[in-house]
Amino acid sequence: MSLTRPTVRFPVTAEKAYDYLIAPANRAAWQSSLRRVEDVRGEDGVVGQSWTDITSAGVRPRMELTDADRPRRWTERGTWRGIDATLTLHFQPVDATSCDVTATMALRGYGPVGYLLGRVAPHAVRVDLRSAAAILAG
């Protein structure tokens, strides 16, 4: 399943939004289902960086940054028990003080968990990006 979510306007430059969203240390602040990240390996924004998401539902996907083109785009891939999800964020400057962030997601999974994630993930990504934009608005 592949989908593009509505764009979320961020009240900061594409560079600032990119740097905030890409850093695993910031994830728990803006991702609603995330308790924390563990086992971060590599530098923020460098392809190959990896970490483990610790979610409130007990899911612990291993995440990896697979593409990074600051401040235009980055892609992460998460895998967990037969489920594979890829999220790409695209950053488009609007003016000198704001940008639009658009999420594209591909999810592959089997059984009821894969189905449920496919139904919930698009909404969750949109809500999480709105949360991040609000945090950056200060």
Output the pLDDT for position 58: 85
Mind listing the pLDDT tens digit of every residue in the chain (138 residues)?
555 577 899 999 999 999 999 999 999 999 998 999 999 999 999 999 999 999 988 889 999 999 999 999 999 999 988 888 899 999 999 999 999 999 998 888 766 666 666 667 778 889 999 999 999 999
Print the domain residue range for 40: 2-137
CATH of residue 29: 3.30.530.20
Output the pLDDT for position 116: 65
Q: How many domains does the chain have?
A: 1
Output the pLDDT for position 66: 98
Output the pLDDT for position 24: 96
Whether residue 109 contacts residue 116, with contact meaning beta carbons closer than 8 Å, is answered with: no
Output the pLDDT for position 124: 83
